[in-house]
Amino acid sequence: MQDIRDGARPVPTMVGQVDNMSDQDLADIAAHYAAQARAGGQTNPDLLALGEKVYRSGVAERNVAACTACHSPNGAGNAPAGFPALAGQHAEYTASQLRAYRKGYEDESGRTNDGDTRIMRTTAFGLSDGEIEAVSSYVAGLK
């Protein structure tokens, strides 16, 4: 939310929502939502095998790291390292973020707020559309 407020992450649906909020306001909102029970989603059975492969093993021939390396085997993330939980996230949202990071690899109008390491941009750049859809579906079904 800080990146959205500060203009580092353009999200049209959030325009004006967090503009005048302090860091503490944003932390309070984040804490509120983090405390909510996750509803969880379901993995599309047709995408399960490919989604699980990408999430657990990456795509070695394109140097794409496994998602588990940062987001944990069960999708719980790694909060101290700043890696968010993915388990139960809506597949459409995850896919849109991966496509935005992929675009940001070569085009600053994409998502570029992953720092100098470019972890997400590099990862997403190596994923095909089908792999993005599959891994997004897979994380939706993680509990």
Out of 34-48, 69-83, 118-132, least confident range:
34-48
Strand-pair partners of 64 = 59
- Is the Cβ–Cβ distance between 67 and 57 less than 8 Å? no
Number of domains in the chain: 2
- The answer on pLDDT for 112 being more than 80 is yes
Radius of gyration, CA atoms only, the chain: 15
Q: Is 77 in the same domain as 25?
A: no
Residue ranges making up the domain that contains 49: 40-141
Mean pLDDT for 33-44 is: 82
- The answer on pLDDT for 40 being more than 80 is no
Mean pLDDT for 7-16 is: 84
Q: Is 63 in the same domain as 110?
A: yes
- The answer on pLDDT for 108 being more than 90 is no
Q: Is 53 in the same domain as 23?
A: no
Report pLDDT for 110: 87
Q: Is 30 in the same domain as 48?
A: no
Q: Is 45 in the same domain as 98?
A: yes
Q: Is 27 in the same domain as 91?
A: no
Q: Is 88 in the same domain as 122?
A: yes
